[in-house]
């Protein structure tokens, strides 16, 4: 059974710092991995999608990497800003004939960037 774990559960950093959020998954048979942002009480905003054949994706100050064989992904945020404060969720979409492409989520990392 696929399990997704995110470490740390919470993180507080001063503005301007570069930071790394970690995501690990137990079954490497995935179609893709997606990083989301969720603001309190709101829905999810997709940040980056990495297909299983890719190693990384970049969007602005965000860079996500994927090491499928070791079951790990990292989200790197450069020059953090108070507006980056949110919960960041990692999710994998499983491959294989028995699944329906559903996303399996981690519990998230809650980030606070202090001015």
Partner 1 sequence: ETGVTQTPRHLVMGMTNKKSLKCEQHLGHNAMYWYKQSAKKPLELMFVYSLEERVENNSVPSRFSPECPNSSHLFLHLHTLQPEDSALYLCASSPGQFSYEQYFGPGTRLTVT
Among 21, 23, 36, 71, binds partner 1 (CB under 8 A): 36
Q: Does 93 bind partner 1 (CB under 8 A)?
A: yes
Return the range that interacts with partner 1 (CB under 8 A); candidates 21-29, 35-43, 57-65, 74-82: 35-43
Q: Length of the chain in residues, anyone?
A: 115
> Residue from 7, 17, 18, 42 that binds partner 1 (CB under 8 A)?
42
* Sequence-distant (≥ 6) Cβ neighbours of residue 66 within 8 angstroms: 33, 50, 52, 54, 55, 56, 72, 73
- # of chain residues touching partner 1 (CB under 8 A): 25
Neighbouring-strand partners of residue 7: 22
Q: Which of 12, 18, 26, 46 binds partner 1 (CB under 8 A)?
A: 46
Q: Which of 75, 77, 86, 89 binds partner 1 (CB under 8 A)?
A: 89
Cβ neighbours for 110, distance < 8 A, ≥ 6 positions apart = 9, 10, 11, 86, 87, 88
Query: What is the rounded CA–CA span in Å between residue 63 and residue 102?
Result: 24
Chain residues that interact with partner 1, rule: CB under 8 A: 4, 31-32, 34, 36, 41-46, 49, 51, 89, 91, 93, 95, 100-103, 105-108
């Amino acid at each position: 059974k696929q399990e997704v774990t995110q470490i740390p559960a919470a993180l507080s950093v001063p503005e301007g710092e570069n930071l790394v959020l970690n995501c690990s998954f137990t079954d490497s048979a995935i179609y893709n991995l997606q990083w989301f942002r969720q603001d309190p009480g709101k829905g999810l905003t997709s940040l980056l999608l990495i297909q299983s054949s890719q190693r990384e994706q970049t969007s602005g100050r965000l860079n996500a990497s994927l090491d499928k064989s070791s079951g790990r992904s990292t989200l790197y945020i450069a020059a953090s800003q108070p507006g980056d404060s949110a919960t960041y969720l990692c999710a994998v979409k499983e491959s294989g004939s028995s699944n329906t492409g559903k996303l399996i989520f981690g519990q998230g990392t809650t980030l606070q960037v202090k001015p």
